[in-house]
Structure 1
């Protein structure tokens, strides 16, 4: 079955982002006690094994998954994602889960804004308006110039920008490489890059904390597995809006286990950012459908 069961795809997406929300909570828990580089390195060792196992079971095996005509760009993607994860986990500690995710939700707007100059895609006035509205939402969350402004919030925005660039690079390599190839290179090159850095930050970990590390590794792999199954069931554009449920799940975890609180401006700002992001996703889907229909007419 492939991309024909939207309901199953939506349920799998919600399950995936719930697992990723748990992963974020465990990441913050460990990062409060240990070096972020080491935590991400161990997590990526397990993730790389998962990626290799998936590739080995796919058609053509590891050799087919690793075959690419753009190794430099694929390596860039893998390394970039590593730095984005490190920055995000660090933001969890210094800023908190809720504000980090509220600001990170702006990454689809950044992708839309950068897709024109970087990929040459046309961004119409409606999407530019949504990007502008989303920027207003970010300002509401940040409240620059007021005493409540936290400079650490810029770390979360940097994470969103890095992930947006990663998303654009993924779109670009997709013109010539399959999703399986990109997934393989993301895991393997990321593992090599983080090990080259994280090995210098190794520190002893308490026995009970290895249980949390095990949960972190399992949630990382299982979350990606659910995503793979999700995209097998439904089109990405149909299920992507439900990825915002991660903000809801993260907020519940942050309030219940870390004692985080939120305020009305953050809630309003996050709602504006999410709403603007959903509009850009919907609008991009509409434009893509029209483009596909026009191409079909030209061929007929």
Structure 2
């Protein structure tokens, strides 16, 4: 009996759907973190919860299947550095969401592709032409429109968001480097393991239990959504290439706006409507340019064979 295989187009649609579901759960992470912070839970405890619950789920699901292979890695140091970058990104973002609307933190997070492009020059030796450097500069102009430094509307927490975007860029560079050597399950394990071990001594001694039912719900969902989101995005990349999924990440701003407005009563202001499209357009241009250059390089290699 022959096996029926879904057409590539159908698989790509499935990958896009899974990616959108992942971006929705990422919004749920930030929403849960903001709810916990407003409920009086210390930020470091929130970050600890996010990764401790993540680690428990990774062990519960993957340890019976992989055994000791789950902790086997090609580079312990690289996994530790990768986990530290994601921990820095999460900490900065969770600190910022306490003071800023989710729409603002979400828009600033879209600078990550800009930092990723800029960092690829010194770290990966890639060539970035004037067009992409121009797009990077325009993207940061969009951020200036959103945060408006020098005005009363500016909040220093915006700098935490920018720092989180830089950490995220380093994290994705290291993930790209380790993807060829370690499984997704192993990488998930080390992300949760290092963060849990590092934060336990500073989070547990100052532990605060939730005092309201809604805060108790967020207490658990912040870690559960973290695990689900990363699982979904990993599976999505198995059905569709990153070049297809990348543009859809910007749709997360819709989820962020809905959560900010409906849950926290913080609707977007006019400056977000002006600045966010600039940042998103810059990121999309860089993606299109890199895709075009990759296709051109592939064509040259094929012609030389």
**Same fold by TM-score, threshold 0.5 exceeded?**
yes
- Please point out which of 276, 281, 292 is paired with 1:270: 276
Query: Which blocks of at least 5 consecutive residues in structure 2 are unaligned?
Result: none
Corresponding residue SS for 2:74? coil
Please give the residue correspondences for 1:88-167 in structure 2 after superposition, counting only pairs within 5 Å. Answer: 88-167=93-172
Q: Secondary structure at the match of 1:95?
A: coil
CA pair 131-62 structure 1, distance change in 2 beyond 3 A: farther
1:64 aligns with 2:74: no
Residues 67 and 181, structure 1, Cα contact 8 Å, conserved in 2: yes
Secondary structure at 2:98 match in 1: helix
- Once the two structures are superposed, residues 154-185 of structure 1 have per-residue CA deviations (whole angstroms, 9 ceiling, x without a partner) of 12111111111222222233454444433332
Aligned equivalent of 1:11: 17
In 2, Cα distance between equivalents of 1:179 and 1:296: 31
Given the alignment, which residue of 36, 42, 51 partners 1:44? 51
Shift, 1:65, TM fit: 3.8
Task: Note if contact 1:105-1:273 (Cα within 8 Å) is conserved in structure 2.
Answer: yes
2:36 maps to 30
* Aligned CA distance change for structure 1 residues 54 and 23 (closer, same or farther; 3 Å): same
* Equivalences for residues 130-279 of structure 1 within 5 A: 130-174=135-179, 176-206=181-211, 208=213, 209-279=215-285
Tell me how many residue pairs correspond in the alignment: 297
**CA–CA distance in structure 2, aligned partners of residues 2 and 24 of structure 1:** 35
**TM-score when normalising by structure 1:** 0.90
Q: Tell me by how many angstroms 1:13 deviates.
A: 1.0
Give CA deviations for 1:218-272 in whole Å, capped at 9, x if unaligned: 2222222221221121111211211111111111110111111322222211111
Q: Which moved more, 1:251-260 or 1:169-178?
A: 169-178
> 249-258 or 204-213: which moved more?
204-213
| Contact 2:210/2:219, CA 8 A, preserved across alignment | no
Q: Any conservation in 2 of the 1:3–1:232 contact (CA below 8 Å)?
A: no
TM-score (norm 2): 0.89
CA distance in 1, matches of 2:95, 2:302: 47
Contact 1:9–1:234 (Cα < 8 Å) also in 2: yes
Mark the CA change 1:23 to 1:69 in structure 2 (over 3 Å): closer, same or farther.
closer
Q: Structure 1 residue 72: deviation in Å?
A: 1.0
3-state SS of paired residue (1:260): coil
CA shift in 2, pair 1:233/1:2, >3 Å: farther
What's the RMSD between the two structures over aligned residues? 2.2
Counterpart-to-counterpart distance in 2, 1:64 and 1:294? 40
**Unpaired runs of at least 5, structure 1:** none
